[in-house]
């Protein structure tokens, strides 16, 4: 931990940083999975899905940056390499064999919902730990993940 004049106790910051690094790993894993879908999707809706997946990847990159910089703002070390993310991420592996737009939509919507659940838990956990700012950061991310879950699922919901 680095010395900082921030008015949050070190123990609190350590606990919050653990939550942040865990979700950082998930976010890095997720962003790489969305790119995997962006590159490999095929079928009649190719261009719409290719572009949507890139848009979600851009949002995920911002989430990654915001989470990592919150860690350093709290005096911690952002553990943001792909190798660490691969070990620590709680997300399922993305299948390399899927091709059809619908399959990517099904898989990505499962992944984003699972990340969304973990982030919602992080809102509660960091709030209870006493860091309203980190809880607020996770709240913003959670709201965006819910929106993109809708964007993905809307392709699958043509029947109620
Ligand atoms: Fe691209």
Tell me how far the alpha carbon of residue 57 lies from the centroid of ligand 1, in angstroms: 10
From ligand 1's centre to the CA of 38, what distance in Å? 7
Specify the pLDDT at position 76. 98
CA 124 to ligand 1 center in whole angstroms: 35
> 29-85, pLDDT tens digit by residue?
999 999 999 999 999 999 999 999 999 999 999 999 999 999 999 999 999 999 999
Concatenating the DSSP letter of every residue in the chain gives ------SS-HHHHHHHHHHHHHHHHHHHHHHHHHHHHHHH-BSTTHHHHHHHHHHHHHHHHHHHHHHHHHHHHTT------HHHHHHH--SPPPPSS--BHHHHHHHHHHHHHHHHHHHHHHHHHHHHHT-HHHHHHHHHHHHHHHHHHHHHHHTT-S--
40 CA to centre of ligand 1 in angstroms: 10
Q: How far apart are the first and last CA of the chain?
A: 51
What confidence score (pLDDT) does residue 58 get?
Answer: 98
| Predicted pLDDT at 132 | 98
CA of 27 to the centre of ligand 1 (A): 19
Tell me the C-alpha to C-alpha distance, in Å, between residue 70 and each of 16, 22, 81, 122: 10, 13, 16, 14
**Rounded distance from Cα 59 to ligand 1 centre (Å):** 14
Q: How far is the CA of 54 from the centre of ligand 1 (A)?
A: 7
User: Binning pLDDT at 50, 70 and 90, where does residue 160 land?
Assistant: confident
Q: What is the pLDDT, as a whole number, of residue 159?
A: 79
Percent of the chain with pLDDT over 70: 100
How many residues belong to the chain?
160
pLDDT digits (tens, 9 = 90+) for 72-129: 999 999 999 999 999 999 999 999 999 999 999 999 999 999 999 999 999 999 999 9
- Compute the distance from residue 20 Cα to the ligand 1 centre, in Å: 28
Average pLDDT, the chain: 97
């Amino acid at each position: 931990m680095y010395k900082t004049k921030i008015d949050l106790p070190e123990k609190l910051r350590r606990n919050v940083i653990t939550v942040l690094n865990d979700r950082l790993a998930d976010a890095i894993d997720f962003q790489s999975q969305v790119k995997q879908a962006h590159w490999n999707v095929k079928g009649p809706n190719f261009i719409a899905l290719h572009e949507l997946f890139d848009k979600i990847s851009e949002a995920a990159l911002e989430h990654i940056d915001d989470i990592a910089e919150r860690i350093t703002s709290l005096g911690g070390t952002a553990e943001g390499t792909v190798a660490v993310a691969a070990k620590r991420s709680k997300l399922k592996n993305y299948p390399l064999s899927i091709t059809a737009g619908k399959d990517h939509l099904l898989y990505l919507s499962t992944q984003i919902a699972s990340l969304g659940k973990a982030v919602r838990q992080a809102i509660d956990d960091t709030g209870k730990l006493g860091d309203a700012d980190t809880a607020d950061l996770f709240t913003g991310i959670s709201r965006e993940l819910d929106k993109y879950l809708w964007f993905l699922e809307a392709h699958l919901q043509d029947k109620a």
